[in-house]
Amino acid sequence: MGFYESINPAINDQIRGFYDAFDLDYGELVDGIVLSDSNGIEILIPGLINQHSCSVVFARPKITTDRHGLLGRNYDFPGEIGTLTLLFTYPEEGYPPAIITPRTPGLTAADGINSRGLALGFASVNDPGYTPPAEVTVISSFFYRYILEHSASVEEALKLIKTIPISFVPSHPNGIITHILLADKSGDSAVVEFMPECIVVSRSNDPYQILTNNLWVDREARQSCNRYQLAVDRIENKSSPLDEISMME
């Protein structure tokens, strides 16, 4: 912003007006967001999104208006992420889920909820050094669908995860894998992370559990994420119970 100020202060004035229109803090946001005009030309507006990543929030029944658990997630990317398809599957044995499938409609699973009220949300995280088992493995995005189709609760999902070898597609140069937040209608939740030594399950005594793109098991790293802290602050400072609208907010 200082560079823009030195070459053309009017640009800063325009960007400030853009921020004001969306009630954004000009001083805190730094990365930028991609906008496209009618000709498909992409324009970068500086500083509109601080991080373009994933956030998953679970609110337990005791802090919601209808005393049902709420799980919300968003994709904080600067541009479009491609097609999002809502897929309904009906396994011959198991629990029918509704699954979100980004980029590959009807194939992989990113997030979802099944007929028994088990929900799953995932987020990318820098690879902590997880080594897949030597035997044939299931790719994570297919495994998440399998979890939803064959688990009625967080406990059942955790038992299932221990029985099937899992691996991740090495498609990112920085070694990004995913970790997941599981939650069920009883209010139980757990974060599952794939560490070098073993699969680590983390729980919380708070009336919520939140997952972003830092290892949950690393408390300092988790709390250093501004999106994580923002979600915590919004929940803890809310005077009334959460409903679907406040979860979106």
- The H or E element spanning position 60 is none
Q: In a 3-state reduction of DSSP, which class is residue 120?
A: strand
Q: Which two tokens stand for residue 189?
A: 């939740």
Domains of the chain, each with CATH number or no CATH:
2-45 (no CATH), 54-248 (3.60.60.10)
Q: Using CA atoms, how far apart are residues 136 and 111, in angstroms rounded to an integer?
A: 24
pLDDT averaged per 10 residues in sequence order, the chain, 249 residues: 70 76 67 59 57 85 96 76 80 92 68 96 88 82 88 97 84 71 97 93 97 94 89 92 91
Q: Distance between CA 170 and CA 177 in Å, rounded? A: 8
Amino acid residing at 33: I
Model confidence, pTM = 0.79
Cα–Cα distance, 88 to 100 (Å, whole number)? 9
What is the spatial distance between Cα 134 and Cα 43, in angstroms, rounded to a whole number?
46
**Angstrom distance (rounded) from CA 103 to CA 171:** 14
